[in-house]
Amino acid sequence: MKKMGEKQERVVVRGLRDVAAAETKISYVNSNGTLYYLGYDIDDLVERVCYEEVAHLLLYNRLPNKKELDEFRFQLISEMKLPEQVIKRIKRAPKDCHPMEVLRTEVSHLSEYDTHTNDNSDAANKKRALELVAKVPTIVAALHRTRTNQQLVTPSQEYGFAENFLYLYRGKPANNQEKEAIDRFMTLHADHGFNASTFAARVTASTNSDMYSAITSAIGTLKGPLHGGACEKVMLMLDDINTEEEVEEYIQGMLDDQKKIMGFGHRVYKAEDPRTKHLRSIAENLCHHTDTLNLYKTCIKIENVVHDKKKIFPNVDFYAAVVLNTLGVSKEFFTPFFASSRISGWTAHVIEQYQDAVLLRPSSEYIGEFGRPFVPIEKR
Ligand code: COA
């Protein structure tokens, strides 16, 4: 029998690398570069479905038929409306705090207007999920409009959901190419296995806390530059590099200083991230049409130089930065756009976690001391 204070050896899996913390049916991420949503290869979905179909798939476990899609879209667009108090708080938020901070607070604030707070049934959570999928993009768009002293825009049932998001943000309707770009961007960002923010949401949900608390945890986690915050940092890097010719020296300088190249590397993928090829092609297309091909060419050069030097590939955030920049989104809103898409995956995972009904609570390996003699405060 172990004595008090005697160490129990445990295997520490640093960073929980390769640890399967739960079972999931929602998405499958494989190191060789494949991603499935509910059994569908992302490559089969991305050019054939709209974001609403993906959100429906994640929340109800199946793709909708035409009638269901129309109804779902109608509900989503109707639910984009925010409570007056939330709009007031968005308008009062200090202009210098990061949009992810305001988003985190206002999602939490939404819970105060939930009319059935104590109902944690599957039906109530599906309804809540739909509302969050609809309202998170509106919070993001409203914050941007407020910060740039522009009128808030009302969503239109004439437009698709992703298109509405861009419309609410920019105040002008998207052209066909932009519509396609934002739809695909949101589809590609909708879910991604047990990434850090999804895991954070599931940990919170595993205590039977409410969905708003779980999503607030997820938003706080996504904000970090090793996760969704990388996208904004990619743009800061691209702003620093003026021409293709500067790439080699810039990247070498970063590596010499032991700095990470933002938008590169991945915990799971050891081959190219399956979302990269789609985002690269959307970026190329948008850059062609907006006379920003130099930016695209600089990105290709960065990709090649980083691969030559470190044998790592761009992740979802690298070309996503170019896509959002070309769509006219300010860089501090890149991560909020990511959150506005991942909200469908987060809510699906929260519901799955409630169904699993198990507390996520790992142990730790204590490496501190035992038996320190206690010294009263007056003798310390
Ligand atoms: N820039 C430079 N080197 C990188 C790198 C990057 N972006 N990503 C990984 N590496 C290096 C690591 O330092 C490590 O080198 P070493 O073997 O010499 O120590 C090697 O590549 C393998 O790294 P790995 O263990 O696979 O990374 P990880 O799982 O610990 O970290 C990330 C994964 C995502 C946190 C990491 O790649 C990173 O910080 N990327 C930049 C931030 C980013 O884009 N985040 C968004 C992720 S979707």
Reduce the DSSP state of residue 183 to 3 states and report it: helix
What does the block give as tokens for 321? 């930065």
At 252-294, the pLDDT tens digits run: 999 999 999 999 999 999 999 999 999 999 999 999 988 889 9
Are 258 and 217 found together in one domain? no
Q: Identify whether 217 is part of a domain.
A: yes
- Quickly list DSSP for 305-364: HHHHHH---B-HHHHHHHHHHHTT--GGGHHHHHHHHHHHHHHHHHHHHHHHT-------
Q: How far apart are CA 50 and CA 42, in angstroms?
A: 12
Are 67 and 214 found together in one domain? yes
Closest ligand 1 atom to residue 17 Cα is 29
Q: Identify whether 216 is part of a domain.
A: yes
Q: Identify whether 289 is part of a domain.
A: yes
What is the tally of structural domains in the chain? 2
Are 197 and 246 found together in one domain? no
Are 86 and 162 found together in one domain? yes
DSSP letter for 4, please. Answer: T
Q: For residue 25, how far is its CA from the centre of ligand 1 (angstroms)?
A: 27
Q: Identify whether 364 is part of a domain.
A: no
Average pLDDT value for residue range 37-66? 97
**What count of residues does the chain have?**
380
2 pLDDT tier (thresholds 50, 70, 90) = very low
Q: Identify whether 42 is part of a domain.
A: yes
* Higher local confidence (pLDDT), 3 or 136: 136
- Tell me which residues are annotated as active site: 266, 317
Are 181 and 234 found together in one domain? no
Q: Identify whether 5 is part of a domain.
A: no
Are 83 and 153 found together in one domain? yes
Q: Identify whether 48 is part of a domain.
A: yes
At 211-242, the pLDDT tens digits run: 999 999 999 999 999 999 999 999 999 999 98
Strand partners, 27: 37
Are 131 and 252 found together in one domain? no
At 97-124, the pLDDT tens digits run: 999 999 999 999 999 999 888 899 999 9
Answer whether 316 contacts ligand 1 (Cβ < 6 A): yes
Find where tokens 């979302």 sit. Answer: 275
Answer whether 269 contacts ligand 1 (Cβ < 6 A): no
Nearest to 332 by CA among 190, 231, 184: 231
Answer whether 306 contacts ligand 1 (Cβ < 6 A): no
Answer whether 310 contacts ligand 1 (Cβ < 6 A): yes
The CATH number of the domain holding residue 109 is: 1.10.580.10
Determine the pLDDT at residue 339.
Answer: 98
Look up the domain containing 235 and give its range: 230-326
Are 210 and 237 found together in one domain? no
Q: Which of 326, 345, 372 is the last residue of a domain?
A: 326
pLDDT surpasses 80 at 3:
no
At 164-173, the pLDDT tens digits run: 999 999 999 9
Are 294 and 346 found together in one domain? no
Determine which residue's CA is closest to atom 26 belonging to ligand 1: 267
The CATH number of the domain holding residue 276 is: 1.10.230.10
Please count the other Cβ atoms lying within 10 Å of the Cβ belonging to residue 44: 11
Determine which residue's CA is closest to atom 2 belonging to ligand 1: 260
- Quickly list DSSP for 236-284: HHHHH--SGGGHHHHHHHHHHTT---TTB--SS-SS--TTHHHHHHHHH
Determine the pLDDT at residue 116.
Answer: 86
Are 177 and 273 found together in one domain? no
Determine which residue's CA is closest to atom 3 belonging to ligand 1: 260
Are 95 and 152 found together in one domain? yes
Are 101 and 244 found together in one domain? no
pLDDT surpasses 90 at 1:
no
Answer whether 279 contacts ligand 1 (Cβ < 6 A): no
